[in-house]
Amino acid sequence: MAAEPIEPPELSAGPRGADAGIEDPKTPGAYIRVHRQRQGISLDQLAASTKIPRRQLELLEADRFEELPGVVFTKGFLRCCARALDLDPDAVMALLYEREREQLRARRREAVASAGPSSVIRPDDSRRASAHQPNLAYQVRAWVVERLDHLPSARILMWLVVAILVAIVVLIAFTLASGQSQQIGVGGL
């Protein structure tokens, strides 16, 4: 289940000044920049209200997150800017997560493309089949990467594993507790 970017009502609130023709931003930095400009707030004013250095705000608005101190700081900066601009921090984070998913998909496609082109192996040509064994590995890898693109996010899988482990612990505890109560009842008669 792919998460769609959440768009707060400010985006569709109608034209405001010179920024009325700006298209809805698709990246978190652009989202912050557009809303800051729509509200008439300068970068220096935002830096003063958020206590984030101007240089880092410039990097943030340019979506150059790799030049910021780290992912934790990037997320914190985005949330802080969203609150300072009266925006929904979850909407900004959804844009960040969508950007990260797109980058991951692009890296996977590059990895598959760099592994080489696939070719069809005909069963009747055993000489060529042995020459195409690396392509079989490529085909398997491409299949796995394609399936990984369709998996739910790691966070969902983690919580699913946690829920299963909790259910197993509860089942074991219930079984042990019910077995002990039967032994106590029989021994007490």
pLDDT winner (highest mean) among 39-43, 125-129, 150-154:
39-43
Q: What is the DSSP letter of 122?
A: P
Rounded Cα gap, residues 156 and 134, in angstroms:
34
Q: What is the pLDDT of residues 62-120, one digit of tens each?
A: 999 899 888 899 999 999 999 999 999 999 999 999 988 988 888 888 888 876 655 44
pLDDT band at 21 (very low <50, low <70, confident <90, very high): very low
pLDDT of 50 strictly over 90: yes
Domains of the chain, CATH where assigned: 9-187 (1.10.260.40)
Q: What does the pLDDT average to over 6-11?
A: 42
Q: Which two tokens stand for residue 62?
A: 């340019």
pTM beyond 0.85? no
Task: For residue 79, give the nearest of 162, 137, 151, 71 by alpha carbon.
Answer: 71
Task: For residue 4, give the nearest of 72, 89, 98 by alpha carbon.
Answer: 98
